[in-house]
């Protein structure tokens, strides 16, 4: 079972976003330079073909980037919800949030919390507005802790 620390939840960023943005900027620069070169030399068809290929790659990478940004926004929202839950649990257990770990990065059912005092299960009510902490004992716990 994998548990994520509070530090991991608050500082986890997707570094591939920066690489995709750099690739997008590089493709845009190549596209513009090839298009300008094609406009200067209209008789040379290879620049037209290279411009079309680069433009197609640019649109493909742009589509991936938009899809990734939408999923990153959704993940950030879920991470914000789970960190708020961890803060509430820490307040109830009278410990710092950095001392807690949780078994998921998004809210949902079957949330387990690893605290210095033991393991706890969160039971949400039907509308998800409140929860109850229940102390549990894990049999044969094979715990992997993911830190920041």
Instruction: Please tell me the predicted confidence (pLDDT) of residue 6.
Output: 81
Cα separation of 79 and 43, whole Å?
A: 55
pLDDT digit string, tens, across residues 57-88: 999 988 888 887 787 777 667 667 778 888 88
Instruction: Please tell me the predicted confidence (pLDDT) of residue 32.
Output: 93
Q: Which candidate, 28, 51, 56, places its Cα nearest to that of 38?
A: 51
Instruction: Please tell me the predicted confidence (pLDDT) of residue 19.
Output: 79
CA distances for 62 relative to 73, 74, 76, 83, angstroms = 16, 18, 21, 31
Q: Are 119 and 112 in contact (CB under 8 A)?
A: yes
For the entire predicted model, the pTM comes to: 0.60
Instruction: Please tell me the predicted confidence (pLDDT) of residue 96.
Output: 92
Q: Name the more confident of 49 and 143.
A: 49
Residue extents of the structural domains in the chain:
2-146
């Amino acid at each position: 079972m994998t548990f994520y620390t509070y530090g991991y939840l608050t500082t986890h960023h997707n570094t591939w976003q920066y690489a995709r943005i750099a690739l997008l900027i590089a493709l845009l620069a190549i596209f513009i330079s090839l298009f300008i070169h094609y406009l200067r030399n209209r008789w040379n068809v290879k620049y037209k073909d290279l411009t079309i290929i680069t433009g197609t790659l640019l649109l493909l990478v742009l589509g991936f980037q938009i899809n990734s940004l939408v999923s990153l926004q959704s993940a950030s929202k879920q991470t914000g919800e789970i960190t708020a839950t961890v803060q509430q649990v820490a307040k109830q257990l009278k410990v710092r949030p950095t001392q807690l770990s949780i078994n998921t990065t998004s809210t949902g059912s079957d949330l387990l919390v690893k605290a210095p005092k033991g393991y706890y299960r969160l039971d949400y009510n039907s509308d998800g507005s409140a929860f109850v902490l229940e102390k549990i004992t894990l049999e044969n716990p094979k715990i992997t802790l993911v830190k920041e």
